[in-house]
Amino acid sequence: MGRVGNNTTLYNDDPLDLTFQTNISSDADILPAFIIWPIEKCIEANLINLTDDIMNSIYFYNGSEIKCREHAPVLTRSTFVRASVLSAIAVLSFFGNVATIISIRRGKRSRGRARPSWTAIYSLIFQLSIADLLVTIFCIGGEAAWSFTVEWYAGNVVCKLFKFVQMFSLYLSTFILVLIGVDRWLAVKYPMKSMATATRSGRLVIIAWVMSFILSIPQAIVFRVAEGPFVEEFYQCVTHGFYTERWQEQAYTTLSLIFMFVMPLLILVSTYVSTVRTIAQSEKVFKPEVIRHEKYLTPDMNRRRLIDRAKMKSLRMSVVIVAAFLIWWTPYYVMMVIFTFLDPDKKVSKIISHCK
């Protein structure tokens, strides 16, 4: 949440280029407080070594105060490839979600007349498509565009709004996915009440939208446009400078982890386990009926078989939901925990970032 998702490297400038920038005071008669040198010039002048805290150190050279800085990040080949892949995924996902939305809207009336009990699940899939469309545009497409530009050019207001919508779309997609899992559990546990789930699911969708909005507000607070500590003028949309203590960032990351991963996972696993137990119990009841009437099928047995078939279909959908949730979210939060709590060194951080 608090990390920039762009994978970038430094300029390969000539080490002999000794150009530098200075921080000029507002009073032209006062000398600069310090001089900014590129790291390669500092190395050439033997000012720094591997044990120095370069970013926070001030060096003295011929009576001048020197600060050593890296060059600003630029678009590299690996970043370009990554951004291109994200763009391709965004385009495919965009058309896929739009096609799903159109298909559901067109078939809503006929489906509602033919199978009213399916209204709730298709309504939830429609909401999930909308949430995934937001994820496609702002998370995948937005990150792709940001990777191409490297620097943030859109200003502070757009920075806050962009990070807010990114988090909102992720929360909404997660919550709607949980609602689909709960709906499938209700269809198995209380099949005769499934007709009434459309109204109930509509209310739950509204709650999901409201919760997503509220939980995303901190993103607009912690993110801002800040100037990077580089030789060149460089601005980025980051959380740097907001947190005064490390525990504050860890607390925010923990809350995000709980609301977006731990709680949804517990709900999905609980509904899945309950679904399996319900189906297992119904099979125990159904088997004696089959044995007694193995030569012919009664209307009651036909009804039970249809219900059993519907339950198995709901179970398969529950398995897909839980598996997809684990596969897509676990790597992301594992890396988030590593960055936030384990504090890897610069080399390890770069390797992990390229694995995103």
Dihedral in degrees, nearest 10, Cα atoms 29, 30, 31, 35: -120
- Residue 354 to residue 356: CA distance in whole angstroms: 5
**Do 225 and 159 touch, CB atoms closer than 8 A?**
yes
Catalogue the E-assigned strands of 62-165: 64-69
Give the burial class of 90: count Cβ atoms within 10 A of its Cβ; 0-12 exposed, 13-18 middle, 19 or more buried: buried
pLDDT for the residue 303:
55
Q: What residue segments make up the domains of the chain, in order of their start?
A: 77-285+297-354
pLDDT for the residue 20:
33
Quick one: which of 12, 73, 20 has its CA closest to 42? 20
Query: Per the structure block, which two tokens stand in for 142?
Result: 């937005």
Asked if the 77-285+297-354 domain carries CATH number 3.40.630.30, the reply is: no
- Residue 117 to residue 194: CA distance in whole angstroms: 6
- Residue 140 to residue 192: CA distance in whole angstroms: 41
pLDDT for the residue 12:
34
pTM score, two decimals?
Answer: 0.76
- Residue 6 to residue 151: CA distance in whole angstroms: 9
Distances (CA, A) of 129 to 99, 101, 103, 106, 141: 9, 6, 11, 15, 16
Q: What is the pLDDT along the chain (356 residues), one digit of tens a residue?
A: 444 433 333 333 333 333 333 333 333 344 456 788 888 888 877 777 766 677 777 887 777 888 888 888 889 999 999 999 999 999 999 999 999 899 888 876 555 554 544 567 788 889 999 999 999 999 999 999 999 999 999 999 999 999 999 999 999 999 999 998 888 788 777 766 654 566 677 888 999 999 999 999 999 999 999 988 888 889 999 998 888 888 888 899 899 999 999 999 999 888 888 877 877 776 555 555 544 545 444 555 555 565 566 666 667 777 777 887 888 778 878 887 887 777 665 544 454 455 44
